[in-house]
Amino acid sequence: MSKSLPPKFIISLGRYIWTTMWKIMMSQMAPSSKSGEYLRPQSQSRNTISNESGSLYPAESGRYNLIVGMSCPWAHRTLIVRTLKGLEDAISVTIVDPAPTEGGWKFKQTEAGCDTLAQLYQLSDPNYEGRYTVPVLWDKKTKKIVNNESSEIIVMLNSEFNSFATNPSLDLYPEDLKDKIDTWNEKTYHNVNNGVYRCGFASTQQAYEIACNSLFTTLDELDEALAKTRYLCGDRLTLADVRLFTTLIRFDLAYYGIFKCSRRRIQDYTNLGAYLKDIYQLPGIADTCNLEAVKQEYYGMLFPLNPGGIIPLTPDLDLLSPHDRENIGRKSEVV
């Protein structure tokens, strides 16, 4: 009888095979720099819906469809603005499911003759060579993708569909706050929104530590700022809050664990934790959140990060308890 392979050899061979396959899969899912830092590809469909004369994509009720995945924070932004503005009757929504073995998203039912989001992208542009991402703002009339960049879609939803909105007076990007909103957006995008992905998709220890330190330095700064004002730019909810919220709502459930953003949870922050509950409890917001999908899809679908596919048991987020943020930043009345 031949002897069994020594454990040392089995371990070394297993590590070599897994590391090699992991690097191949990660290079496709999350391209990185030579130093191991995750590099997010830019969105490529960047057309604009406008009410200006001669616009290729004018604002029309019933013409456009939002295609979203419920676990995706970038797509979640568009659902929130659609809800806050009251555009449910004007802009339809299609939800796609992740199809990890196919490397993308698939439709629950055929959409424009397509079974997958990749097919829809090719229908829109047969020469398209980018990633097949959500959200997608789809023009049902021309069968074209108008835009797949969430930061631009939410600006259009805020301003261009007021004729069809049930809450047209709400302005989430007011002129007097634009500079402040843009400043927060720049900081939170790099260090928080994309920062959690830079942690999770880092392929070297150094890249991970740089991203993790930047993430928590910014979260500390946000927590301090929110001790003074109810929202990031004062007492009014803005697009800066929408963009931050969709990362925070996923943090303790997913990013803390699978992306190794494990220095602190959002609920450990006095102000950020209450701020998260404040926004979640605004009318309509909870209905845009599918927390079970977040857990199932991050842990169940990101095979290179969780090859066992085990979904962790997590504590309740307690999002419905009082937050007591209504009077933060307001001056005391003079009696």
Q: Is 197 considered catalytic here?
A: yes
Distance from C-alpha of 102 to C-alpha of 218, rounded to nearest angstrom: 36
**DSSP designation for 60:** -
The residue annotated as part of the active site, out of 38, 57, 64, 72, is 72
Q: Which residues pair with 98 in a beta bridge?
A: 105
Residue 98 to residue 96: CA distance in whole angstroms: 7
Q: Which residues pair with 46 in a beta bridge?
A: 147
Q: Which of 121, 197, 256, 269 is catalytic?
A: 197
Query: Distance between CA atoms of 89 and 93, rounded to whole angstroms?
Result: 10
Question: Long-range pairs for 285-289 at CB < 8 Å and ≥24 separation?
Answer: 285/80, 285/83, 285/84, 285/245, 286/319, 287/83, 288/76, 288/79, 288/80, 288/83, 289/76, 289/249
Q: How far apart are CA 213 and CA 218, in angstroms?
A: 9
**Residue 72 bears catalytic tag:** yes
The encoded tokens of residue 311 equal: 């979904």
SS3 66: strand
Residue type, 238: T
Q: Enumerate helices (H) and strands (E) in the chain, giving the number of each.
A: 11, 6
The amino acid occupying position 296 is Q
Neighbours of 123 (CB within 10 A): 17
Taking CB atoms within 8 Å and a gap of at least 24, the contacts of 88-93 are 89/61, 89/164, 89/166, 90/61, 90/62, 90/161, 90/164, 90/165, 91/64, 91/65, 91/66, 91/157, 91/161, 92/62, 92/64, 92/65, 92/66, 93/65, 93/66, 93/67, 93/68
**Secondary structure of residue 92 in the 3-state scheme:** strand
Residues annotated as catalytic are 72, 197
